[in-house]
Amino acid sequence: MTPHLTSPQTSVAPVSVGLIGLGAMGMGMATSLRRAGYLVHAYDLRPGVAAEFASQGGVACSSLQELGEACSVVVSVVLNAAQVEAVLHGAGDSAQGSRGVLAAMRPGATFVMCSTVDPARSIAFESQAQARGVHYVDAPISGGAVRAAKGELTIMSSASAQAYEAAGPVLDAMAAKVYRLGDRAGMGSKVKIINQLLAGVHIAAAAEAMALGLREGVDANALYEVITHSAGNSWMFENRMAHVLAGDYTPLSAVDIFVKDLGLVLDTARASKFPLPLSATAHQMFMQASSAGYAHEDDSAVIKIFPGIKLPRGSAD
């Protein structure tokens, strides 16, 4: 899974790839694609953001239509399913109703959907794309902004063989690992949802454990040292409790992301009436943190729902 530096079907002009949504993740992915030799067309709802990206190379598009017409592969990196819907079909309800990207894409082009969404929604998006002759890759991403900028994301994907043939090198240019989990949309999103189930429960469990330690007078740094070398460790405990020890709740990923993502987990399971007791409990904890005023703090701020403890305050203490 080494990145393809150039696309095999051209030795004259670089392949045009579209990147929609230049947030913390999308900007890094666009940069990785440019580094891999692609001509990157970029679009972002916020005026000027695409132009700023293009000042280093690439093309700023002023509309989804312009981007869709220019690119054989379009990568969408937006916040949620509603935004994917607007990217595909346009925000037609508004007075300034814009066309979506799908109507502008050529048959045989490929749309890559990188958001974390209900798997049923991704399956529907694939049908809408295929109805227009556009290939579709269900391709939720994981790894954070730093790894996005390095082209070292993890992509949990599923797609048809034709879609992979068209978009495979583009996926490889953005990721250290591209998991191919099935031959149509849905499996990528399902696995991503299950990863989010574990990530969310583990963050809330880490907070609960650290909170009990503080309540019981255990030294927080010693507790961190022991747990990270014991069977109670998780990737999230090690990563997020470092924020708590530092007293730094600058949002790398915010509380409200897990309000959303654990909500998607529960929606998915509810559709087949499947019980998820820990996910439901963790979701309540993140909603409690959000309502208490910590919605936009780092997700480790879920520890602030625990009463009767004094949190570490880092160097400011």
Which stretches of the chain bind a copy of itself, using CB under 8 A?
119, 142-143, 154, 156, 177, 179, 181, 187, 190-191, 194-199, 201-202, 204-206, 208-209, 211-213, 215-219, 222-223, 225-227, 229-237, 239, 265, 268-269, 272, 274-279, 281-282, 284-285, 306-308
Helix axes 255-271, 119-130, angle to 10 degrees: 80
Residue with tokens 């300034």: 96
d(CA 13, CA 108): 19
Residue 278, Cβ neighbours under 10 Å: how many? 13
Q: Indicate the residue among 97 and 274 with the shorter CB distance to a copy of itself.
A: 274
The three-state secondary structure class of 14 is coil
Q: Indicate the residue among 113 and 206 with the shorter CB distance to a copy of itself.
A: 206
Q: State the Cα angle at 291 between 289 and 297, rounded to 5°.
A: 50
Q: Which residues of 162-198 are buried (b: 16+ CB within 10 A; e: fewer)?
A: ebbebbbbbbbbbbbebbbbbebbbbbbbbbbebbbe
The three-state secondary structure class of 155 is strand
Q: Indicate the residue among 60 and 223 with the shorter CB distance to a copy of itself.
A: 223
d(CA 167, CA 188): 15
Q: Indicate the residue among 70 and 211 with the shorter CB distance to a copy of itself.
A: 211
d(CA 256, CA 263): 10
Which tokens in the block code for residue 89? 């079909």
d(CA 123, CA 189): 9
d(CA 173, CA 180): 15
Q: Indicate the residue among 48 and 308 with the shorter CB distance to a copy of itself.
A: 308
Q: What is the DSSP letter of 254?
A: B
User: Least distance to a copy of itself from the beta carbon of 185, Å?
Assistant: 13
d(CA 195, CA 102): 29
Q: Catalytic residue numbers?
A: 192
User: Least distance to a copy of itself from the beta carbon of 200, Å?
Assistant: 9
User: Least distance to a copy of itself from the beta carbon of 158, Å?
Assistant: 10
